[in-house]
Amino acid sequence: AASDTGAPTIFDKIVAKEIPSDIVYEDENVLAFRDINPQAPVHVLVIPKLRDGLTTLGKAEPRHTEVLGQLLHASKIVAEKEGIVDGFRVVINNGAEGCQSVYHLHLHVLGGRQMKWPPV
Ligand code: 5GP
């Protein structure tokens, strides 16, 4: 499993639009784009444009509370835009044991099918 080295990730290139992505929502601080390997009919990643130390949620500090709120709110906007606002899931994988593979904080917005609980 991948670990948190602090190295830049591919999401920097997506934010910089150096590599293409299918953008669903964007504002000053947040970018939302379709996952390249979707696990549901709707699978969108919501990220802070500036990582600012947020390789993982586990690195969150008091200075991050505003952008953390913006990410959750952007997830709701994505769900509305995608027509799944009445039934969707938001996931953050944290660290190797949490199955995180890209060390730039991101929320997975999943929907368009029946979800299961527990997610296994
Ligand atoms: P994690 O496993 O870290 O929670 O999620 C990382 C997600 O990023 C995975 O679902 C993976 O499919 C997605 N991903 C990795 N590289 C790219 C990429 O270059 N473009 C897009 N759109 N998604 C990516």
Ranges of each domain in the chain: 10-111
Helix (H) and strand (E) counts in the chain: 2, 5
Does residue 120 register a pLDDT over 90?
no
Please tell me the distance between residue 63's alpha carbon and the centre of ligand 1 in angstroms: 26
pLDDT value for 10:
98
- Residue type present at position 74: A
Ligand 1 pocket, Cβ-based, cut-off 6 angstroms: 10, 21, 33-37, 45, 93, 99-102
Per the CATH hierarchy, to which homologous superfamily does domain 10-111 belong? HIT-like (3.30.428.10)
Strand partners, 33: 23, 45
| pTM over 0.80, yes/no | yes
Burial of 95 (0-12, 13-18, 19+ CB in 10 A): middle
Tens of pLDDT, residues 17-63: 999 999 999 999 999 999 999 999 999 999 999 999 999 999 999 99
**Which atom of ligand 1 approaches the CA of 13 most closely?**
19
